[in-house]
Amino acid sequence: MYDELKVPPRILLGPGPTIANPRVLKAMTTPMLGYLDADFVDIMDDTVALLRQVFGTQNSLTFPVSGTGTSGMETALINVIEPGDHVIVGINGYFGGRIAEIAERCGGVVTPVHGDWGDIIEPDQIAEACNKVSPKLVAVVHGETSTGILQPLEKIIEIAHQNDALFLADCVTTLGGQPVSLDARGIDIAYSCTQKCLAGPPGLSPISFSDRAVEVIRNRKTKIQSFYMDVTLLEEYWMGDTRKYHHTLSMTLVYALREALRIVVEEGEETRYERHEHNARALIAGAEAIGLEPAASENHRLPMLTTLRIPNGVDDATVRKRLIQDYNIEIGGGLGIFAGKAWRIGLMGDAANEQYVLLVLNAIEKLLGEVGHSVEPGTAVRAAAAVYQNS
């Protein structure tokens, strides 16, 4: 009735999941262990140590939440926000909006700071909002996957701290592909995912809280409204001496995350970040050569996720469908106000490489030619090739 699982060999160049590294897939065939087995606790400890390294932090409370990136977002907010707390949220894309939505469900009073889609949140806007309300938390998205913006953080962090607020950065898209540097920057709370620049399967959300954030959580007046996401309980399991049972962690996903992080550290973080930047430059050079304009402002483009404006008269869905049918390539459609207006090309983890950049550019060039946007064949790959040869 139900056949053996078979899937097409997709080249995943969307907003995530990316292609999982084969070593990560292999790690997931490792047999189960008990959730308190001493051998498994060692694997948990390795994973925490590796996460601290890639997050750039010595934060004690650093571990993966047992859920996807959105569960990390909710865990971050639900532990810190109490009913009536003021929260300033930068919203210049879909995921900033999601932070605001969840903060409100936690009882927070949100002051949104809106920015244009495809542009950054300006520090002055945050400063202005801080003058109006006394925020407990200031939150922005480091890499906004819906628009392709890499948000500069330093000045906003300074403003948040001057106002005695905690600072939260959504690092779902950036961790493992760009420096997040929690301690050097002074980020109090950050969370991410496993299926983007870490090149693992989805299912866990690495998270980290500074000691200052932990102090705020310990001084709450109200009970945390979630048991599953209560970090005071999760801490006892992940780093307590007693390793007190809280839930049955997915050893499979922890095996995968440990292996994914091992690969990041083996490549070297700086090398990996530069690889993401380099391939993004080549992709953009090729795209611009065939008239596809990046939708993100020039100095703030997210290397691992490039948004490109869809030319007038070109049907979004048709092109993406043909990319899948003819090339087995998945790219992302637009989210929110970019729906139908922009494509999102992700070069994340292993997928940030020359072969996929050349392939996707040539495929898009060909498909655009079929709907009246012809250029001399090879225009896109030639422009990208120049970037690769000049490096």
Which residues, numbered 244-303, are part of the site for a copy of itself (CB under 8 A)? Answer: 245-253, 255-256, 258-259, 262, 265
The yes or no reply on residue 112 touching a copy of itself (CB under 8 A) is no
- Please, what is the minimum distance in Å from the beta carbon of residue 64 to a copy of itself? 11
DSSP state of 277: H
- Please, what is the minimum distance in Å from the beta carbon of residue 270 to a copy of itself? 17
Q: Which residue, 159 or 349, is less far from a copy of itself as judged by CB? A: 349
Nearest to 59 by CA among 179, 184, 170: 184
Helix (H) or strand (E) holding 201, with range, is none
Q: Which residue, 147 or 163, is less far from a copy of itself as judged by CB? A: 147
- Please, what is the minimum distance in Å from the beta carbon of residue 38 to a copy of itself? 8
As given in the structure block, the two tokens for residue 262 are 């091992």
Angle between helices 231-238 and 211-218 (to 10 degrees): 120
DSSP state of 177: T
Q: If binding means CB under 8 A, how many residues of this protein chain bind a copy of itself?
A: 74
Only one of the segments 3-11, 84-92, 108-116, 291-299 lies at the binding site for a copy of itself (rule: CB under 8 A); that segment is: 3-11
Q: Which residue, 45 or 274, is less far from a copy of itself as judged by CB? A: 45
Nearest to 251 by CA among 48, 28, 68, 63: 28
Q: Which residue, 201 or 303, is less far from a copy of itself as judged by CB? A: 201
* Of the residues 112, 152, 179, 202, which one makes contact with a copy of itself according to CB under 8 A: 202
- Please, what is the minimum distance in Å from the beta carbon of residue 330 to a copy of itself? 5
208-247 positions binding a copy of itself, by CB under 8 A: 223-228, 245-247
Is the CB of residue 133 less than 8 Å from the CB of residue 182?
no
- Please, what is the minimum distance in Å from the beta carbon of residue 379 to a copy of itself? 28
* Of the residues 18, 79, 147, 362, which one makes contact with a copy of itself according to CB under 8 A: 18
316-355 positions binding a copy of itself, by CB under 8 A: 324, 330, 335
The yes or no reply on residue 370 touching a copy of itself (CB under 8 A) is no
Nearest to 147 by CA among 337, 275, 364: 337
Length of the chain: 391
- Contacts of residues 360-365 at CB distance under 8 Å and 24 or more positions apart, as own/partner, are 360/11, 360/13, 360/283, 360/323, 360/327, 360/329, 360/331, 361/283, 361/286, 361/287, 361/290, 363/323, 363/326, 363/327, 363/329, 364/287, 364/290, 364/292, 364/319, 364/323, 365/290
Site map 168..197 versus a copy of itself, x via CB under 8 A? -------------------------x-x--
- Please, what is the minimum distance in Å from the beta carbon of residue 144 to a copy of itself? 15
Look at the block and give the residue holding tokens 């106002």. 163
As given in the structure block, the two tokens for residue 113 are 């700071």
Site map 41..80 versus a copy of itself, x via CB under 8 A? --x--x---x---------------xxxxxx-xx---x--
As given in the structure block, the two tokens for residue 198 are 């870490």
